């Protein structure tokens, strides 16, 4: 089954990005996207440290199974930190579980993090500097 957006006209630079990363988040895209994030109090969210995130996941017996070597889990961590931490996510245990559930969701796709980031940016009218994010 083909994606419904397979035949859409893509913005300049998107094809080159997709050739390099597919529908996954690259390190430059992670840094760019997180740079726009604010937490519930309006504070800037920092790009998560991969080793620190992995340490928290390991400490709480959470395994990320569907990463394919990309930065998708780090994006989900930052998004959860911005949108949910201090409310429905109250501590590192629940943060680890959320990221694991999100990435490993059997009903989701391996490209869920990228797809949701992309559609949110489109809905907000934010141009993505594709060529800078490769």
Show me where the domains of the chain are located.
27-133
| SS3 category, 22 | coil
pLDDT tens for 82-122 read 999 999 999 999 999 999 999 999 999 999 999 999 999 98
pLDDT tens for 56-84 read 999 999 999 877 778 999 999 999 999 99
Tell me how many degrees the CA angle 49-14-10 measures, rounded to the nearest 5: 140
CA distance 62 to 28: 26
Structure tokens at 111: 């490209």
Angle between helices 27-35 and 72-83 (to 10 degrees): 10
Consecutive H or E run containing 112: helix 112-124
CA distance 26 to 124: 21
CA distance 79 to 102: 11
The pLDDT of residue 45 is: 96
CA distance 55 to 28: 23
> Across the strands, what pairs with 89?
85
pLDDT tens for 35-56 read 999 999 999 999 999 999 999 9
Tell me the mean pLDDT in the region 116-133: 93
For the chain, helix, strand, coil in percent to 5 are 50, 5, 45
């Amino acid at each position: 089954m083909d994606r419904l957006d397979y035949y859409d006209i893509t913005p300049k630079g998107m094809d080159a990005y997709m050739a390099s990363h597919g529908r996954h988040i690259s390190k430059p895209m992670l840094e760019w996207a997180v740079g726009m994030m604010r937490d519930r109090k309006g504070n800037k969210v920092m790009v998560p440290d991969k080793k620190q995130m992995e340490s928290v996941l390991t400490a709480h017996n959470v395994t990320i199974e569907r990463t394919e070597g990309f930065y998708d889990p780090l994006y989900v961590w930052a998004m959860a930190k911005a949108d949910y931490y201090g409310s429905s996510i109250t501590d590192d245990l629940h943060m680890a579980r959320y990221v694991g559930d999100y990435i490993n969701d059997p009903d989701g796709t391996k490209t869920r993090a990228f797809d949701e980031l992309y559609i949110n940016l489109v809905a907000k009218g934010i141009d993505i500097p594709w060529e800078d994010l490769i």
